[in-house]
Amino acid sequence: MPAPRRYVTDAIVLSRFDLGEADRVLTLITPGHGKLKAIAKGIRRPSSRLGGSLEPFAELSVALARGRTFDVVTEVRVGHAWLRLRDTLEGAATAWYLAELADRSLEERHVAEPQYALLHRAYGLLDAGMAPGRVARWYEMRLADELGQRPEVDRCAECDRVLDPGGQFRWVPPLGGVLCERCPGPAAAHTGLGLEALKVLKAYQRLDIEAIAALRLPDAVEREVEAAMREFMRTALERDPRSLAFLDEVRTRPARRPAPAPQLTAQ
Ligand SMILES: [Zn+2]
């Protein structure tokens, strides 16, 4: 039986780019159809019915008609908008980063229910005001799990010995996690990992989100964990997320200075 020509799905916009005079191509994540590209024809005309609803940071209900290159958006309804997520630039930039990680980790047209649920939850947490860095680390850890690349933080990734808290650790993402001091690892691997950072990585794997939100951590440890997880995701996805440059930039700006909203553009 051929697939129906028209279908309706929940979707979150991951990225978009303008095409021609008035069209826009969107990358959507959907639970049942996975990642897909769709075209919104004429959306940049003031008279467009699709208008402002086909935006990122919202759960949409989208009607699509199958097309040759891209499916065509025929109708959009906003199911749930995470409006407060945009209140801070760091929140919006983090949301963009999470969308990019989802985009990079998914193949088109493969069912993506867990990844969809994960992004949905992360946006809800950002919207509820949870610290963007905590949401990002929580999301990275669970996305790595979904990719079958859960970081090893309990045993040495090379010799499989249980890590001794009194030992020295190195963080070696190409090997899947932490190395003990006895294992040489690859020649270039000299990224030390402090015991506190290792404990926090374990906490991200074991604790629920409420417990993670309540952790009190020194800035230096948060930064170490951030660097470790970013490096891990870069290795897992085999590329540098482009949104990180923007995220790092907004965090160094004075809080009140107005800045343009992040543009979700694709290559
Ligand atoms: Zn070892």
Could you tell me the pTM of the whole model? 0.89
Question: Minimal CA–CA distance to 18: which of 264, 251, 262, 220?
Answer: 264
What mean pLDDT do residues 233-246 have? 86
What mean pLDDT do residues 136-140 have? 97
- Could you report the per-residue pLDDT of 156-194, keeping only the tens digit for each? 999 999 999 998 999 999 999 999 999 988 766 668 899
CA of 53 to the centre of ligand 1 (A): 52
- Predicted pLDDT at 265: 55
- Could you report the per-residue pLDDT of 64-103, keeping only the tens digit for each? 999 988 999 999 999 999 999 989 999 999 999 999 999 9
CA of 157 to the centre of ligand 1 (A): 7
- Predicted pLDDT at 188: 65
CA of 140 to the centre of ligand 1 (A): 25
CA of 160 to the centre of ligand 1 (A): 6
- Predicted pLDDT at 151: 97
Inform me whether the pLDDT recorded for 261 exceeds 60: no
- With b for 16 or more beta-carbon neighbours within 10 A and e for fewer, the 231-261 pattern comes to ebbeebbeeebebbebbeebeeeeeeeeeee
CA of 219 to the centre of ligand 1 (A): 29
Inform me whether the pLDDT recorded for 264 exceeds 80: no
Percentage of the chain modeled with pLDDT above 90: 75
